[in-house]
Amino acid sequence: MEYVKEYTVKPEHIDVQGIMDGLFYPFYMEYCRHEFIKDVLGFSLEEEAEKGINMVLSQYTINFLRSLKKDDTFTVTCELFADKSDKPQIHFEQKIILNNKVVTKAVFTGTCVPATGGRPYLPDSIKEKLKGAPVLDK
């Protein structure tokens, strides 16, 4: 299932070249991913943190294909993937799309850790959502 949100480039995200600074692409992906985590996975980052469960990123890869400019309205997608090696992690494949063309694509990998320290794990509620998810083959 592909989750989609729409955003507009903020003027303060534009660099001296007239394009969006590369640091902000992952932020827009994060906005979409956090909404996906809450809306689709039913996992509230804030509520779970209060319970001592932190969802964190362990890695990401990002490819920049085109640039966004001031006032561009674009979509960000988010899709959930299970881990092929059965590690306690989840993968989010994301794209930024402008005028039906992929601008940026990325894979973000995350897991949960106890706020007090300890080994990574996935709560049962997230494991349940992963049952029907495709496996990331990368």
**Using 50, 70 and 90 to split pLDDT, how confident is the model at 21?**
very high
Quote the tokens at residue 57: 């990123």
114: domain CATH number is 3.10.129.10
Examine residue 133 and state whether it is found in any structural domain, yes or no: no
- Predicted confidence at residue 137, as pLDDT, reads 83
Examine residue 49 and state whether it is found in any structural domain, yes or no: yes
Examine residue 136 and state whether it is found in any structural domain, yes or no: no
Instruction: Give the model confidence (pLDDT) of 83-137 as tens digits.
Output: 999 899 999 999 999 999 999 999 999 999 999 999 999 999 999 999 989 999 8
pTM for the full predicted model: 0.94
- Predicted confidence at residue 86, as pLDDT, reads 82
Examine residue 138 and state whether it is found in any structural domain, yes or no: no
Examine residue 36 and state whether it is found in any structural domain, yes or no: yes
**Using 50, 70 and 90 to split pLDDT, how confident is the model at 2?**
confident
Quote the tokens at residue 8: 């507009």
CB within 8 Å of 137: residues ≥ 6 apart: 84
Stretch 26-37: mean pLDDT: 97
Examine residue 134 and state whether it is found in any structural domain, yes or no: no
Number of domains forming the structure of the chain: 1
Q: Give me the sign of the Cα torsion angle 125, 128, 132, 138.
A: positive
Q: Which residue range forms the structural domain that includes residue 84? A: 3-128
**Using 50, 70 and 90 to split pLDDT, how confident is the model at 30?**
very high
Instruction: Give the model confidence (pLDDT) of 63-82 as tens digits.
Output: 999 999 999 999 999 999 99
